[in-house]
């Protein structure tokens, strides 16, 4: 089981992405894209299927944190990385690679200038 702090840290990039994307696509749009990424990632990481993307984003991230916390640290990191990669691929298909890279850069750098999460391609 991963530590609660570790699972919460894995969700930080999602919080930043949500903050950047919600004004552009709305909460329901973000949740729909997240839900699609979940469905595409579930064959590799079955535990992700327990995450309910029909919830508002606060509930969605609480659910994701709980699921990642229940996985071992290695599996939680790999599942979250796969989910992020799938999400960004879908986003790139919708809005283009240049804008996706710009949004990911902003989402990865917090207000204190520190980088959070995995660097995306």
Q: What is the pLDDT of residue 4?
A: 60
Exposure string for 8-24, b = 16+ CB within 10 A, e = fewer = ebbbebbbbbbebbeee
Q: How far is CA 87 from CA 3, 31, 71, 108, 112, in A?
A: 24, 11, 20, 15, 25
pLDDT recorded at residue 54: 84
- pLDDT score recorded for residue 106: 77
Q: What is the pLDDT of residue 3?
A: 56
Mean pLDDT in consecutive groups of 10 residues from the start of the chain, 121 residues: 71 91 90 95 94 88 93 92 95 89 74 45 37
């Amino acid at each position: 089981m991963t530590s609660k702090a570790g699972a919460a840290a894995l969700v930080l990039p999602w919080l930043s992405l949500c903050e950047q994307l919600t004004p552009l696509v709305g909460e329901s749009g973000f949740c729909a894209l997240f839900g699609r990424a979940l469905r595409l990632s579930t064959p590799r990481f079955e535990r992700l299927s327990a995450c309910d993307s029909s919830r508002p984003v606060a509930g969605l991230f609480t659910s994701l944190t709980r699921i990642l916390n229940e996985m071992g640290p290695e599996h939680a990191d790999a599942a979250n990385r796969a989910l992020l990669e799938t999400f960004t691929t879908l986003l790139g298909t919708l809005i283009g690679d240049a804008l996706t890279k710009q949004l990911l850069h902003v989402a990865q750098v917090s207000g204190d200038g520190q980088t959070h999460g995995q660097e995306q391609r």
